[in-house]
Amino acid sequence: MIHFDTNYLIQATVPGSPAHVHFAAWAEEGETFGVSTVAWPEYLCGPLDPQGEALARQMFPHPEPLLLADAEEAADLFNRTGRRSRSLADCMIAAVALRCGAKLATINTADFTPFQPHGLILA
């Protein structure tokens, strides 16, 4: 299972981009995909054309919700990784991926590297 950060989903729609190539390879290997309800609205904010939105809704018909346990884990991650300004959404995305046992695909690996000692695996 691979969950996606918003930036990776955007890049995966660009033909020939490294994210697009990796996404296609993962799909070919039969990998399963998911997205959290934290990353999902960021993606829908666009820019996104109607065709891209329709494809995304088909691929992710049921984004994974942020549960109370995830919110608590996100707060813990935030505190354990230095209370970095503007990192709370990343903490929530990481917490959902951790609960689901999913790797996380992101372009901004530096934003998520602090969560690796706490169990997050980057795809």
Interval 25-83: pLDDT, tens: 999 999 999 999 999 999 999 888 888 888 889 999 999 999 999 999 999 999 999 99
Give the pLDDT score at 51.
85
Partners of 3 in the beta sheet?
34, 104
Is the per-residue pLDDT at 13 higher than 90? Answer: no
Q: DSSP assignment of 11-75, as one string? A: HHTSTTSHHHHHHHHHHHTT--EE-BTTHHHHHHTSS--HHHHHHHHHH-SSPBP--HHHHHHHH
Q: How far apart are CA 35 and CA 30, in angstroms?
A: 17
Considering the domain delimited by 2-118, tell me its CATH architecture: 3-Layer(aba) Sandwich (3.40)
Is the per-residue pLDDT at 89 higher than 90? Answer: yes
Mean pLDDT across the stretch 74-97?
96
